[in-house]
């Protein structure tokens, strides 16, 4: 994977406008500078996935989106990002990962400006989708460059720990960062701040990051990448509509059927091609497939619960956006601690025990948080978030390390691409699945509120934010009755959602038993033998060969 080569020839290739600098040597301190640049990119992309959570009430008040529009405002970013990872990952493998990365920075900045000044829900959804495309351009290049500049496995394990800590910090600090901005500025400021930071990343990336390609052979399968993107998008769209309470409605069944059909076509196409985008035999291995599935479950819990928790803190407890962010801070601190000690824990416990214990700790935290109610209990919140942050980050670290170890150095890019897709898919599913469970549990309690007009109950049953608006228009006593019923219904929905999350996390702990017992070195850690010219042995395009992701 080192150096730059022309796809299909192996000769050095010059990418116009780019300097094909060699990767920093193992003993060169410059590799740590590269790590800083890559982690900065990751921080911004991860932060943008959750920074909007505390701004949801403000967005609802100013743009007045419907319930489905509000869900799309929040989750269009991770869903679009997940859909386009394969496409941009393989493109970067052909034309240069740094080149795609720099274009991603530029698009991310432009989409942030559009989102900041969006004046309709539709425009904000479109801007968030463009942010997802920019994120998909940024993510696939980052871990492959990290893999390139850290050839030593021990140093790479430390880099992965720092990397995964940054990912968790970005997702967890997003609400705090958004809260700080909302204390002084309008809701669009949570996007506007991306512009100078992305401009700085663009300059630093241009000067410091090495260029590389994956040396993949065969033509770039554009049709395959398009099938994968459309299939994932249709599948998740169907899940979203099914979660609204009408699983048999055409709005749910048609996208589900279309998405599943496109993904089946994608799988068949990959099996028939000499140089597929994704090596399906790689994913089929128990350890690799289990690690990917565990990533989806972990991120599903993290992102979905973060959104619900932010609404609980603001709309039920009445905290300001800044106070909400501060209450979520223990989760971030615990995640950082878990990332920094992750390498040592993995060596002592092994992947199987580490991931299983991480899931159990997270499930314990989730069930502990079911004791929350209408009253503010800061100690319970802080304790639950500490357990949640440490457990989630422990699980993610073990999963990513296991997944990368299951691939040779030549295949690390493809393995990382699958992992990043799993991460983004989990983020989208977390908001869609847990959000719809929350809405399904919340609505009946509001619809049955006594002494409130039927039309008002129907409008308030869409979300707690809308219930506040309806109650204000009604006035007392009907408005007060409606608001009490809505807050109680939200807490009930929170308990149901936490319980479902706990069950999913316990299933993840059982699935983790399929991971390797120890992190012993295998032949996959060594480069492909020079005499082995098999495409699947050499990793020359069989996998996604994108180079990528967030551990």
Per-residue model confidence (pLDDT) at position 329: 81
C-alpha 503/C-alpha 363 separation (Å) is 8
Cβ(215)–Cβ(11) below 8 Å: no
**Between 538 and 138, residue with greater pLDDT:** 138
Q: How far apart are CA 538 and CA 530, in angstroms?
A: 9
Q: Check whether 21 has a pLDDT greater than 70.
A: no
Longest dimension (CA), the chain: 82
Domain ranges of the chain: 30-216, 219-274, 281-517
Task: Note whether 30-216 and 281-517 share their fold.
Answer: yes
How much is the average pLDDT of 196-211? 84
Neighbours of 293 (CB within 10 A): 18
- Give pLDDT tens digits for 148-160: 777 776 677 777 7
Q: How far apart are CA 465 and CA 440, in angstroms?
A: 15
CA distance linking residue 160 with residue 342, whole number of Å: 9
Percent of the chain with pLDDT strictly greater than 70: 80
Report whether pLDDT(243) > 70: no
Q: Which CATH architecture has domain 30-216?
A: Up-down Bundle (1.20)
Dist CA 173 CA 326 (whole Å): 9
- In the beta sheet, which residues pair with residue 12? 5
Identify whether 369 is preceded by a cis peptide bond (ω within 30 of 0).
Answer: no
3-state helix, strand, coil in the chain (%, to 5): 75, 0, 25
Q: Is 0.85 topped by the overall pTM?
A: no
DSSP assignment of 293-350 equals HHHHHHHHHHHHHHHHHHHIIIIIS---HHHHHHHHHHHHHHHHHHHHHHHHHHHHHH
Tokens for 30, please give them: 């410059």
Residue 319's φ and ψ, nearest 5 degrees, are: -80, 155
Query: What CATH superfamily classification does 281-517 receive?
Result: MFS general substrate transporter like domains (1.20.1250.20)
Stretch 450-468: mean pLDDT, rounded? 82
Axis-axis angle for helices 464-474, 56-63 (nearest 10): 50
Classify the C-alpha dihedral 27-32-37-39 as positive or negative: positive
- Predicted confidence (pLDDT) per residue in 49-75, tens digit: 667 767 777 888 888 887 778 878 877
**Two structure tokens written together for 396:** 């993610």
CB atoms within 10 A of CB 444: 12
DSSP assignment of 210-260 equals: PP------S---HHHHHHHHHHHHHHHHHHHHHTTT-TTSHHHHHHHHHHH
State residue 412's pLDDT score: 53
* pLDDT, position 546: 29
pLDDT at 195 over 80: yes
Q: In this structure, are residues 197 and 72 in contact, taking their beta carbons and an 8 Å threshold?
A: no
């Amino acid at each position: 994977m080192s150096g730059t080569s022309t796809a299909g020839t192996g000769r050095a290739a010059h990418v116009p406008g780019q300097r094909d600098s060699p990767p920093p040597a193992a003993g060169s301190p410059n590799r740590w500078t590269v790590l800083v640049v890559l982690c900065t990119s990751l921080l911004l992309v991860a932060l943008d996935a959750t920074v909007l959570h505390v701004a949801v009430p403000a967005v609802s008040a100013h743009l007045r989106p419907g319930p489905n529009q509000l869900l799309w405002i929040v989750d269009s970013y991770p869903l679009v990002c997940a859909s386009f990872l394969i496409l941009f990952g393989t493109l970067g493998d052909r034309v240069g990962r740094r080149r795609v990365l720099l274009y991603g920075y530029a698009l991310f900045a432009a989409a942030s400006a559009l989102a900041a000044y969006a004046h309709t829900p539709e425009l904000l959804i479109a801007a968030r989708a463009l942010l997802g495309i920019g994120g998909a351009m940024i993510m696939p290049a980052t871990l492959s460059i990290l893999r390139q500049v850290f050839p030593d496995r021990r140093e790479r394990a430390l880099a992965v720990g720092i990397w995964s800590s940054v990912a968790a910090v970005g997702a967890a600090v997003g609400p705090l960062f958004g809260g700080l901005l909302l204390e002084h500025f309008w809701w669009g400021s949570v996007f506007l701040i991306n512009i100078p930071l992305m401009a700085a990343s663009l300059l630093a990336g241009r000067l410091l990051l090495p260029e590389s390609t994956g040396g993949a052979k065969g033509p770039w399968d554009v049709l395959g990448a398009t099938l994968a993107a459309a299939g994932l998008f249709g599948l998740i769209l169907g899940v979203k509509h099914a979660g609204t309470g009408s699983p048999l409605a055409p709005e749910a069944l048609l996208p589900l059927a279309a998405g599943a059909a496109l993904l089946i076509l994608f799988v068949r196409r990959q099996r028939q091609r000499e140089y597929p985008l994704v090596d399906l035999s790689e994913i089929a291995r128990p350890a690799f497939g289990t690690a990917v599935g565990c990533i989806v479950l972990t991120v599903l819990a993290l992102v979905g619960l973060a959104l619900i928790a932010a609404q609980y803190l603001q709309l039920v407890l009445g905290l300001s956006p800044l106070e909400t962010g501060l209450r979520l801070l223990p989760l971030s601190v615990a995640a950082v601690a878990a990332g920094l000690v992750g390498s040592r824990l993995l060596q002592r416990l092994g992947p199987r025990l580490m991931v299983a214990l991480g899931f159990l700790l997270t499930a314990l935290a989730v069930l502990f948080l079911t004791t929350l109610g209408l009253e503010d209990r800061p100690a319970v919140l802080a304790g639950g978030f500490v357990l949640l942050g440490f457990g989630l980050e422990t699980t993610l670290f073990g999963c990513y390390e296991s997944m990368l170890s299951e691939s040779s150095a030549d295949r690390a890019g493809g393995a990382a691409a699958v992992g990043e897709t799993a991460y983004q898919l989990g983020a989208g599913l977390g908001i869609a699945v847990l959000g719809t469970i929350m809405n399904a549990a919340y609505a009946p309690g509001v619809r049955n509120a006594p002494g409130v007009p039927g039309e008002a109950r129907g409008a308030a049953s869409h979300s707690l934010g809308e219930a506040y608006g309806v109650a204000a228009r009604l006035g007392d006593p009907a408005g007060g009755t409606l608001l009490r019923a809505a807050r109680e219904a939200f807490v009930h929905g929170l308990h149901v959602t936490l319980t479902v999350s706990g069950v999913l996390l316990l299933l993840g702990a059982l699935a983790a038993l399929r991971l390797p017992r120890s992190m012993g070195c295998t032949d996959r850690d060594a480069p492909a033998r020079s005499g082995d010219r098999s495409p699947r042995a050499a990793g020359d395009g069989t996998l996604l060969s994108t180079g990528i992701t967030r551990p």
